[in-house]
Structure 1
Amino acid sequence: MKINKIKKIIYKSYLDFDRERVCIKKNLQEAKFDKFNIIFGENGSGKSSICEIFKSISLSDGFSFDNIKPEKIILEVETIVNKENKNPQTGEIFIKTDKEEKIYTYEQDLWNNNLDKDSLLFFDVDYINKNIHTHGERLNTQGHHTQNSGKLIIALDEQANNMQEEINNQDIVIQDYKEINKGILSHKLEENDYKIYNLYKDETIEKIELHEIELKEKNNLLREKEKKINELKNKFNEISTILLDQTSFSEFSLPSQQLIQELFDRKIQQIGIASANITIKEHFDKHKNFLVKDDNYKKITENVEGICPLCSQKLENIDDVIKYYNSVFDTSYETARTKHIQDITKLSTSLKDIITQFSMLGGIVQGIFGYFEEISKKYGVEDIYNMDLKKTTLEDLNKISIPTEIQTLIELLGTIGTLTGVNIESQYFPISNFINEINQLLGNVKKYQKESNDRILQFKSQYSDILTIEKQLGELNIEQQNNGLLLSFFKENKKTHIEKYEKAKTELKRLEDIKKEKESQLEKYLQEKIPKDFIERMIKTLKRFNLPFTLQHLSASKRANDYTFGFKVIDDNGFERNLKKGLSEGERQLISLAFFFAMNDNISNKDKKILILDDPITSLDSPNLKILADIVTEQISLYEQVIVFTHHPLFYKYLSKFNFPNPIRFGIFKNRPELGGSFIFFEGEQFCLDTELKKHGEEIKKLAESGNLKNEEVCLKYGQLLRLAVEKLIKYDLLMRKEDNFEHIADKLKSSNSQIRKLDDTDIDTITNIYKYCNYSNLMHIDKESPSTISELINYINIYLKIKEKLNS
C-alpha cells in the first residue's frame, strides 16, 4: 500500500487546495508521492493538518478540534490486489498481483473507507506526549500528565526513590490535615441525620426556614388528626350501622319522533284490510294441503265449473262468501282502532309523567346532598359532601323549565281522528332538548351519589374495626416522631455540621487517594516487564549521535522480583543526569527518536507499512541533523513508503541529497486566504550541484553587464555550492557512502566502475586542496575591494569541473 496523491483539501489553512492546479511536473504530468517523500513547509503552513488527515483515515486519531472538521478531502492510495487468473492453455489457476488505485473521500464528517489502523506509523509531538514524556516533566496531576499509561513501554519519569519521597510527603500532608480538622472529623452523627440531610442538602437557608414553619404547622395538623381518630375509635360500633344513600331515580325518556308522528298518520281502515287479508291467507294456507292432496285441487278446477276453489261453494252462493269476508274485516278494523287509542293514551300519560317528575326533581337532589352532608358532619367522612357541586347542580336545575311544547303535544294527541296532516316536528325538538338537559344533570348526580357511597363503604371498612383504627394510630405516631426528628434537625443546625464533616472527609479521602495512586504508580513502575534488549536497541541508536551520555539498564527492585526494565541517564563522567534538568530539549528529542526506532524494530510486515515523520528535529544541532537524516534514509528500504515533514531548511537539504532512491520533494506555501490559503506544490527535479557550478561564468557576466556584480554575494553563493559539491564527491562518489553493503563496495573498488580508480595521486591532492580551501578560506567575510578573491574561487571551480569530467569519461 502506498499513498499516491493528496488530490483535494478543504481544512484549516487549506481553504481550497486542488492538486491538479499546482502539483505539476515539467512534462505537465501530476507529481505523485513515491518511495521516499520530503514535504517542506514553514510553521503554521499546514504540515500537521496533513498528518491529522493521515491519522484520521488510518483510525489512529481524530481531528484536533471537534468544532473544526474538514469540509472535503480526497486521497488516492495505491493498493496491492491479488487476483485469481486462469491459464488459457493448461487451465491452471494462478494468483496475479496487481496494483490498484483507490480513491478515499472525506465528506460530511465521514470517510467513504478507511486504511488499516496499523498501516501508518507516526512520529510527532502527539506520539511523544502519549508514549514517552512531555518535555522532560511527567507529572501525574490533571492537566500535566499526557502519557498513555496502558501503553507505556519505557518509563522516563522520576526514579523510584523520588516517587517514594512523594509518597512520604503526601503522608505528612494527610497527618497535618487530620490534626487541623480533628474536631470536625470526630463529630458523631446519627443515621437518621444523614437520611434527612440527603433530602435537604441542596436547599437554601430561606427554604430551610420555610420547611421549619411547615413542620410546625404539620405538627398541629397531626395532633388534630390524632384527636379525630380517637373520637372515631369511641364510635366504631355506631359507624358500622351507617347506611348508604338509596335514593333512586330514573332518566327521563321520550319515544322517537318517527313513532309519535306515526300515531298522527296511522290509517285504521288500511290496517284492518291488511289484517283481514292476512286472516284469509292463513285460512287458505291451513287447507292447502287438503286441496292439493290426491289431485283434489286438480279435479275441482278441471271437472267442476262454477265452484270456488277455496271454499268449494257454488258461485251462485257468492253473497254468503262476501258476508264471511266482511265479518273477518270488521274484526280486524276494531282491533287496530283499539290499539291506536291505547298508544295515544300511553304517550299522553308519559308526557304528563315527565311534568310530574320534573316538579319533584329539586327535592330529590336536595335530599341526596343533604344526606351526605349529614353523614360528613356527624362522622367526619371525607370528600362525600360537595357543596360546590350541590350549588351548581341546583342552579342548573333552576335554569331549566318545562317547555310549553309538552302541553301542546298532549292537546294535539286529543285531536287525532279529527285533524289531518299534523306535523309534530316543531313540538318534538324542544321536548327532546329538555329531556337531554335533565338526563345530563341526573347523570352527574348519579355519579356523585355512587362516589360518595363508595367512600362511605371505605370509611366503614377502616373505622368499624378496632384493629384497623389502632393501626392508623400507630402509623400516625410514627409520622409524629419523624416530624419531630425533622424539627430537631433544623433547630440544631445539623445540616451545617454534616456539610463541614463531609467536606473534611472528602478532602481527606482525596489526599489519601493521591497517596494510594502514587503507591500504585510506584508498584507499576517497578513491575513493568520490558525486555532488556529494548534499552540496548535505544542505546545503539543514541550512540550514532554526538551525545555526552548513554542509558544504563536498571536491575530488579527489592519490592518487585519480576521487574526487568528501567534505565537512567549516565554522562561521560559516570554521573546520573536528571531527565528534566540534566538534559536539553534536543537530547530528550533524541531519546524519543531512539524509543521510536527501537519500538518499530519489532513490528512485522514493515515492508507493507508507511512511515510518517512530522518535524522530528526539535532543537537538534547541525551534526545531529545530518545523523538523523542518515537514520531516516536507512528506513526507506525497510518500509513501503517514507514521508517526512519538516520546516528546517538544513534537514530538508540533507534529506534531499539522498540518491537511492531520489526523494520526491514537495513544498507547502501558506498563501493569503483570498487566494485559497495553503497549497502543496511539486519542487521539481533533484538539485544538481555541478550544473549550478557551470553557470558561474554566465551569471557573473550578466551581473557585471547590468552593474549588479557584488563580489561577496557571488563568493558566498558559489563558495557554498563548491563546498557541497566537493563533499558529495568525496563521500558518495569516491567513498561510496550511499552503499551500506560491504561486498558491493569491495566489488566496485575492484571493477572499472569504481570512480576512485580513474584518479591519480595528483587528482586526489587537488581535491584535498579544494576541500581545504572551501573549509578554511574566509568566504563569508571577503574583502569587497579585492577582485582576486572571486578569481581564486572561479579557478577552483574550473579545476573541480575538470576532475568531474575525468570521472564521468
Structure 2
Amino acid sequence: MLERIIKIENIKQWQHKRALSQGFDKLNLIYGRNGSGKSTLSKIFNFINENDKAAIEALKPLESDGVPALSLRVGGASVTLNSLQTPFNFQVFNQEFIDSNLYIPNAKDRSQLTNYYEFSLGKVSVLKEQEIDTLKAEIDAINVQLSPIDTRLTTKFPSKTVAKIRGIKATPNADAEIASLDAQIQDLKSVEHYKSRKKLSPLVLTKPDLDTSVFTLNIESLSKEAQEKVELHIANNLKERDVMWLETGTQLVNESDNCPFCAQPLANSNIFSLYQDFISDSYTNASDKFELDSDQFELDVRAIGCKIEDLEALVKSNSEIIKTWSDRIKGFNPQYDFKDLDSLSTSIELECVNLIKEKKKDLLLETDFTKFNQLFDSIFDGFDFSAYNSEVQEFNEQVTKFLNELATGSTQALQAKINNIEETKKRFETEVVDDLVNHKSLSDDKKDKTKKIKELKEEIDKDQEDSIKEHKDSINLLLKNFHSMIRIKELDKDNKGKGGSTRLKYVINFIDKELSVENVDDNKHIFEHVLSLGDRSALALAFFLSKFAKANSDNSIVVLDDPMSSLDNYRKDATIVEIEKLINNGYQTIVFSHDPFFLSEIQKYSILSQHTKCFEIDVSYKKSDPLKADSSQYISSQMIERSDYDSHVLHSYHKEYNKLYDFVADAKDESKVEVARSIRPILEAHLRFLYPREFNEGVWLGNMITMIRDETDPSSHFFDTHNQISQITKINEFSKAFHHADGFDTKIQSLDLQTVQSYAQETLQFVTGI
C-alpha cells in the first residue's frame, strides 16, 4: 500500500519538501480547492504505473529553476524518479479516465471504451499485458521511423501510395525517350504557330444594282397646257434651256407684281401666269424628293470606288501574308494594277454628279445614261482578276500541304509520357530504393507485431469472456444504486477498435429508448447530447468500480479524483457506500475532492472512520509585486495533516465559539487581538438565533441592547428577567473598541491578555446560560 508521501517538489505547483508525521491508512481523504494540485497528483500515480519518468519531469513548472523530485513510500520500498517500479498498481478514476473510456472529444473513434478489459477485471494476465505494452511501444518506435520515409516518398510521388511507388517499372533508355518526346512537343508547338498564320484572300468585285428610276419623274398635278406653252416659250426664247433665271425671277417678284428685271407689270403676262401654275407644290415636292434620292444614288456610285480601295488594301494585306510565309513558301508575289480601275471609278463619280446637276436644272428633262452605262460596264465587265486569284489559290494550296505534313498529336499527352518516364527515373534513384527497402522491412515488422497484439488480445478475451458477462451485472447494479436511468442490456467484445484495440459492443437502455453505439453513424450523438453530465459521470464511475467488486488480488490502490462531479446528493451517499465496499475488499483507497462536506461525511461514516486519515493540500499564492494589478502569481502546494474537516464545514458561529472556548482554557498573547474582535460578532449571532424575527440583518448589537433595556412589560420575551443587560452592555463597551478602526493601533497595543480572557469567559457564560 501507499504508506507515505515524503517529497513532491518542482512538479507543477507541488513544493512538498518533507514527510508528514501521519502516514496513509486504508482510506485517505485529501481536500484541495480547484487548482491546488489534485489532478497533478493523480497523473503522477498514472505515470508511476507506466514507469514514465519523462512525463513526470515534463511537469516541471516554468517559474522554478529547481529539479523535479519525487519520493514515496510504497509497500515498504522507496519510489523515486529514478526508480518508479512498484508491485502495486494505481487504479485512477479522473476526468482522463472518463474521456478515454466514455467520450473521445476529437470524434476520430466513436466506438468508446476501447480498452475496457483493462478496467473490467482484476485477473488479466500481467505477463500478456506487459508484452502488449512492449509491442505497442515498439510499434510506436517503428511509426517514428516510418513517418519521415513516408513524407519523403509522398513528396516525390504525390497521390501515390507506397505500394504503387514500389510497383513502378523502369523505362529503358529513359533519357533518349524523353529527348524524342521533347522534339515532338516542339514540333507540335510549331504546328500551333503555323496554324495561327493567315491564308491569302482572292479579289472579288461584285456588280451592284443601281436604281436609275430616281431620274424619271411623273408630275401628274401639273397643267399639261401650261407645261407645253412654257416649254414652247423656253424653246423659242432660250435655246440653251437655262431656266434658272426664271425660277429665280419668280422668287424676286414682290407685291407690285412687276418684273424684277425690266419693271414691266406682270399682270397681263400669259407666260408668267402659266409658269406660276407649273411651279406649283407638286413640282416643289418632286424637286425635294429628287434631292434626297439623288444623294443616295451618288453614295451608291461612290461605294464602287470604296470597294476598289478595299481591293487595293486586300492586295497589300496579301503581300504582307506572303512575307510571313516566306520562311516556308517561296516564288509567289501576285500583283494587280488598279490604275485604270481608279480612273474609271473617278470618271463614273464625275458623270454621276453631272447627271444630277443637269436633272436639277430641269426635272422634266429626260436623262441620258449612255456615258454612265459605258463607264459602269467598263468597270465591272472590262477587268479580270482570274490571274491574280489563280496565284492566290496556288499559294493557299501550298500552305495547306505544308500544314498537313507537320506533326500531329497532343502536347499534354506527350508531357504526361515525359512525366511518367521522369517518375520511373526517380523511382530507381538510390535514396528512393533505400527508402522502399527500409519501409518494407519496418512495415513487415509492424505487421508482425500488430498480429501478435491481436493474438494476445484474443487470448485475453477468451480468458475473460465469462468474467465480462458476470461484470455486466456489477455495472448495472452500480448504476441502479446511483439511481441512474441507464442500463447495459448487452455486453460483448471484439477487436475492431481503433488500431485493432479491444472494443466493447453494448446496447444502452435510456428512458425506455434503446440506443446502440455499435452503429456509430446512427447514434453518434449519444454521449454528446443524450446523456447528461450526471449520467456520464455515473456510467464512467460504474465502469471503474465494477473492477473492484471482488477481493483485491493484484495489489491495486484505488484513486478517486473528484468522483462527485455532476452527481446529486443521493449518488454521493451511494458512492460512500461503494467506498466502504472498496475498503472491505482490501483496496487501499485515496479520495481527492474539492468538497469538504463530502469528505467530512466519509470521515464520519461510522464504519470507515476507524480506517480513515485526513489530509489537506495547503496552497499559497505569491505575487512578485503585491501592488501591481497584473503581477506574476505563483502557486505553491504542500500536503498537511488534518484530524477532520470541521474548520471547513462547521457554521461560523461554532468556529467562533470554539475559538473563545480554547482561548479561555489556554490564553495566548498572539491570539488576544483576534479573540477581542470575535466577541461582538458572537454576541450578535447568539441574539439573532434567540430572536430571528425581531433581530434581522438590519439590527445590530447596540440596537438589540437598547430594545432589551427599554422593554418594561414583564410578559415580553425581551424583558430582562435575570438582569443580564448590564453584563451584555459591559461586554459590548469593551468589544466595540476593537470591532471598529478608530484608534485601532493604540488600543491593540494597550490590550491586556487577562482582560481579554475575562471578557471572553463572560461572553461564553452569557451565550451558554452558565
Question: TM-score band (shorter)?
Answer: 0.3 to 0.5
How does the TM-score come out when normalised to structure 1? 0.36
How does the TM-score come out when normalised to structure 2? 0.37
